[in-house]
Structure 1
Amino acid sequence: MFSVDRGDFGPGFLFGVATAAYQIEGGQTDGRGSSIWDSFSATPGNIKNGDTGRIAVDHYHRWPEDLDLVRDGGFDAYRFSFAWPRLLPEGTGPVNAAGLDFYDRLVDGMLARGIKPFATLYHWDLPSPLQDRGGWMNRDVAGWFAEYAAVVAHHFGDRLAAIATINEPWCVAFLSHYLGVHAPGYRDLRAASRAMHHVLFAHGTAVAALRAEGAKNVGIVLNLEKSEAAGAGAADRAAQTHGDALFNRWYLDGLFKGRYPEELTTLLAPWLPEAFERDMEVVSRPLDWLGVNYYTRALYAADPAAPLFGSRRVAGPLEKSDLGWEIYPQGLTDLLVRVATDYTKLPIYITENGMSETDDSRRVAFYDAHLKAVLAARQQGADVRGYFAWSLLDNYEWAEGYASRFGLVHVDYETQRRTPKGSYRAFQGLLHNTR
């Protein structure tokens, strides 16, 4: 069980669980179009064990059981994502009626159970026909995304408690277009530089489209890391500053200051979109809340031999998850205070926090320590309004396939049987009879 009480967080604080469409839905029938993750996962060598999300954990058919788990755990809210290709199979144009029907059932199912729907428009499943047209490298993606946003807002907006435009733009842009770890799997600096800007330009365009359709409580979800220097020397400190600019400040500065870090715009100038500065008013359109996903820290060391950036990440000495990620709750406190002090007074939600681990007692300890970190940030003035555990279910963990388990609920992938873990019971104990 946890050492914190729900009352420690005060009235109105939301507790929830989070998932993403491609990782859990399956159900690739009824008119759903192809996504970049369908083709990426079908390509040999991209995903551990050759796993795909074709079936995932069959949430498409088992959603009532899964929503019962959310309700019975005592959670206030459920963060889910719409699958763009399920609603618009070609990315633009005709809407798939079966897709609308599925999300009608899902959203209404949340409301019937007293669960607040926290929706995400884009959790990485770009329709393949749009990738054929350049995807996030093409400036036109902003118009495509705005069209999709308007469809969602028109059909579901009055039933959603909150809506985020994009989940983790660093992953959408840099991880997927420069490091090549996620779909579409590019390792190209021009592609990454354009995606880094277009993902935020599309976000701002979608904000306007959502509000034009009457959507309320609009935000974005950033994955942030606590960037630290591996050593005390000036070179490592400079490497940390550069790493922080690339991972954190590009997105925070763009959204809340209307500019990108100068050291990066100078370095990336040959590859950034022409006259990108003209878009910054759109990029920095006002929001209603900010989502923060936090898992670990990064230690940066100077490395003159490293291509382009002159730095590299190094392993740290702290206890680690089974993915090798350091467990560092203090980093969450530090990031929340930094965002609240240096960037925005908007309400903040921890939209993802969790641990890949087979030893669930370690997961319980992880959550307990990070809930305390949230309390510490609130005591230092950060306006944190809610906390979403990642994830409700063991699921398709992107490039890790089904080898990595983040769920509060164990899933037997052969039978699809759901079994609550001790971490689920710990949250249940924290939240039971306090809704």
Structure 2
Amino acid sequence: MAFRDDFIWGAAAASYQIEGNTQGVDGCADSVWDMCSRRKGFVLDGNTGFNACDHYNRYEEDVQIMKSLSLDAYRLSIMWPRVMPEGTGKVNQTGLDYYDRLVDELLANGIDPWVTLFHWDYPMALFHKGGWLNDDSSDWFAEYTRVIVDKLSDRVSNWFTLNEQACFIGLGHQSGMHAPGLQLATKEVNRAWHNALLAHGKAVKILREEAKKPAKVGAAPCFRTAAPASNSEQDIEAARQRTFNVVDDQMFNATWWMDPAFKGEYPQDGLALFGNDAPEVKDGDMDIICQPLDFVGINVYNSELVKMGANGQPEVVPYPNDYPYTHFRWPVTPESLRWTTQFLYERYNKPLIITENGLSTNDWVSLDGKVHDTTRIDFLNRYLLGLKQAADSGVDIMGYFQWSILDNFEWAEGYLQRFGLVHVDYATQKRTIKDSGFWYKSVIESNGSVLGSSNPLDGWRAPEDFNRNIKS
């Protein structure tokens, strides 16, 4: 049942969601999430990321927790305005040195840092200059990338450019649910989209040409995915089409990101759908965007269920109200990893790595001092079995990053949603490793061979005293 010998077992987090210490601490400047967190009603209960998990001060403790869970790798992100308060120009050396120390701490404990250059904390100073709508924005990102590469690439080998462009553009500039909270017309949304793609391409080029160690580069997009309602060839084809067809003017169409990045072109059905609102592609743009990538990263939490309709077109099958849902009201669909990876591998012929996958639940510390999140264990067990099915079918799966290592600030949901393998008491900052964390450790140490038990708790035991030794 084990995965391949060099399989990468990791966990992930994002700078703004865990670091805190954003309000001028050590020269850190505001991001658009700081800006929007001050807007009444934007974040649930008026929560902010100003303090979050205080990872900025507690990173050594948190790395020790990662080591105790036997992580091979940790996917972290860099907070752009912590490093460059104005977004360009002067570097805040104190902020940059923080990430320098974090990388050293990870490596000293046998954990490989996988660095994400941008995970939504866009400098507010650049937002005031137009943000992603400004055609200079890709050059701003390239300047920032060069600073990070110069500082960290002597030790960091694995890189992601952008995290979930569909969210920071689609939810941030179209629906307004996420920072910077804009509701723009489709033409302007696609302008921001195209500039972000240019930023991705320029960052990849800098990594290829200037990294001090050979760089492996990808991104961490998210988009609508689909799984077949049955194993019939017709339903599988319907799910494949649903995954790759541009079906609406939202930004969660897979090929709207993947085809430019991997094939150097926008898909024809998307161009036809958007018409005059499609991005303006200048000469040379696609040469910049379509840089060689080493793998396909993908954040996957759930999928639509699709069958082939009587008219020969994909048809979405609704999940019933009593279907298993997460605390976020996302359907539990273990087949997501099975089919999404297969479809992507067929189309782009690159190794796959799951850059995020996890479960939000309403966890709490029990009277015995532990967090018994059996639902998360069952969820991860099922999804990883789906991923193993894909690997067994011939899909080249490099690794898996669980989301997330810590409970954290969950954007517009504030602190309502808990995704972590480690419980955080936000009032005291006390960390408590959940049962799922110890279970995940057993999965890592067995390289997945413990998966598939009829009782997902079989074969592991949480150490009785470990959490007592974690600093309060």
TM over 0.5: yes
Kept in 2: contact 1:243–1:300 (CA 8 A): no
State the one-letter code of the partner of 1:190.
Answer: K
Query: SS in structure 1 opposite 2:219?
Result: strand
Shift of 1:407: 0.5
Q: Does the CA contact (< 8 Å) of 2:83 and 2:93 recur in 1?
A: yes
The 5 A counterparts of 1:62-141 are 62-141=58-137
Match for residue 176 of structure 1? 172
Instruction: Look up the match of 2:15.
Output: 21
Quickly say closer, same or farther: Cα 1:426–1:144, change in 2 above 3 A: same
Which residue among 401, 414, 423 is the counterpart of 2:427?
414
2:377 aligned with 1:364, yes or no?
yes
- The Cα shift of 1:300 comes to 8.7
Q: Check 1:390–1:280 CA distance in 2 against 1; reply closer, same or farther (3 A cut).
A: same
1:259 corresponds to: 265
2:354 to 340, 343, 350: 350
Distance 1:297 1:170 in 2: 16
Secondary structure in structure 2 of the residue aligned to 1:211: helix
Partners of 2:194 and 2:276 lie apart in 1 by 14
How many Å apart are 1:361 and its aligned residue?
Answer: 0.9
Q: How does 1:219-238 map to 2 (within 5 A)?
A: 219-227=218-226
Match of 2:319 among 316, 324, 348: 316
After superposition, the C-alpha distances for 1:343-385 in whole angstroms (9 at most, x for unaligned) are: 122x221111000012621110110011111111111221111
Distance, in Å, in 2 between the alignment partners of 1:27 and 1:210 is: 29
Aligned position for 2:440: 427
CA contact (8 A) 2:11 2:75 kept: yes
**Deviation of residue 162 (structure 1)?**
0.4
**Does residue 210 of structure 2 align to residue 213 of structure 1?**
yes
Contact 1:174 / 1:195 at 8 angstroms: preserved in 2?
A: no
**Aligned residue for 1:30?**
26
Q: Displacement of 1:291 after TM fit?
A: 1.2
In structure 2, relative to structure 1, the CA distance for the partners of 1:334 and 1:281 (3 Å cut) is: same
Q: Which residue pairs with 2:51 in the alignment?
A: 55
Identity of aligned residues (%): 42
CA contact (8 A) 1:193 1:268 kept: no
1:133 partner letter:
K
CA distance in 2 between partners of 1:41 and 1:313 (Å): 36
In the alignment, which residue of structure 2 is the partner of 1:390? 403
How far 1:275 moved relative to its partner? 3.2
- Which shifted more, 216-225 or 162-171? 216-225
How many matched pairs?
Answer: 416
Larger RCO (alpha carbons 8 Å, 6+ apart): 1
In structure 2, C-alpha distance between the alignment counterparts of 1:424 and 1:274, rounded to whole Å: 47
TM-score of the aligned structures, taking structure 1 as reference length: 0.90
SS for the counterpart of 2:141 is helix
Q: Deviations 1:277-322 (Å, cap 9, x if unpaired)? A: 6411211111122211100113699xxxxxxxxxx99962331101
One of 295, 298, 313 as aligned partner of 1:289: 295
- Select between 266-275 and 121-130 the one with higher mean Cα deviation: 266-275
Find the aligned partners of 1:315 and 1:420 in 2 and give their Cα distance: 36
Deviation at 1:339, TM superposition (A): 0.8
The match for 2:466 is none
Residues 292, 273 of structure 1: alpha-carbon distance in 2 compared, 3 angstrom cutoff: closer
Instruction: Pick closer, same or farther for the CA change 1:314–1:143 going to 2, 3 Å.
Output: farther
Per-residue CA distance 1:51-100 (angstroms, 9 max, x = gap): 10000010000001100111000110010001000111100001001012
SS of 2:115 mapped into structure 1: strand
Other structure's SS at 2:359 match: coil
Residue among 334, 337, 342 paired with 2:339: 334
Q: Residue 412 of structure 2 is aligned with which of 359, 376, 399?
A: 399
Give 1:307's aligned residue. none
- Unaligned 5+ runs, structure 2: 308-314, 364-372, 449-472
Q: What is the aligned-residue RMSD (CA, Å)?
A: 2.6
Partner of 2:370: none
Letter in 1 for 2:435: G
Q: Tell me if the contact between 1:74 and 1:433 (Cα under 8 Å) persists in the aligned partners.
A: no
Cα distance in 1 for residues equivalent to 2:174 and 2:343: 27
Deviations 1:82-135 (A, max 9, x none): 100011110000100101211111000001101000000000011011111111
Aligned residue in 1 for 2:3: 9
Distance 2:279 2:446 in 1: 53
Secondary structure of 1:30's aligned partner: helix
Moved more, 112-121 or 134-143: 134-143
Instruction: State TM-score, norm by structure 2.
Output: 0.83
Deviation at 1:174, TM superposition (A): 1.3
Deviation at 1:225, TM superposition (A): 3.1
What's the secondary structure of 1:256's corresponding residue?
Answer: helix
Q: Structure 1: which 5+ residue stretches go unaligned?
A: 302-311
Per the TM alignment, residue 190 of structure 1 is displaced from its structure 2 partner at its CA by 2.7
Aligned residue in 1 for 2:193? 196
Task: Indicate conservation of the 8 Å contact 2:246/2:255, yes or no.
Answer: no
Match of 2:366 in 1: none
2 CA distance for matches of 1:69 and 1:266? 50
* One-letter amino acid matched to 1:14: I
Superposed displacement of residue 274, structure 1: 2.9
The 3 A distance-change label for structure 1 pair 175 and 344 is farther
Q: CA deviation at 1:212?
A: 2.4
The 1:80/1:420 distance shift into structure 2, 3 A limit, reads: same
Larger radius of gyration: 2
Question: SS at the partner of 1:339?
Answer: helix
Write the distance in 1 (CA, Å) between the matches of 2:77 and 2:443: 26
